[in-house]
Amino acid sequence: MIRRFPIQGGHPVRWAIAEQAYARYASFFGKDQSIERMAERGGFGVLELDFFLSQYTNVYLLMENKWPPEDEPWDRAGGDCICSKCGEKYFDHPEHPKIICLTRLCAGKLVKL
């Protein structure tokens, strides 16, 4: 049986593909969260997977000094967390306009779901 990795909002992918995306993810965020734990939490989002597998996107952000966003600090959070300002899940908030793996909450705080 082929091992699959869950994708939020999409179909599971082969584990080997997720490992490639995770390697790039870990280069940005570190390995505090293992790929196994990430799978337990629902895996990558569709756009997140695209971001981490897309060499062009990552090179563009690095060349434009858009990553990491040092001028806008961010935290990790679960997408099911509830926003204290609007009462909606973090999943229901908009993505950062240039860094698709970050979400902007109502109070302006950035989070990596």
- Residue 47's CB: how many other CB atoms inside 10 A? 14
Amino acid 63: pLDDT: 44
CA nearest 30: which of 76, 81, 63, 73?
Answer: 76
Q: What is the tens place of the pLDDT at every residue in 36-67?
A: 999 999 999 888 888 888 764 544 454 444 55
Q: Phi, psi (5° rounding) for residue 20?
A: -65, -45
The pTM score is 0.53
Q: Distance between CA 101 and CA 113 in Å, rounded?
A: 8
pLDDT score recorded for residue 100:
64
pLDDT of residue 14: 84
Average pLDDT, the chain: 81
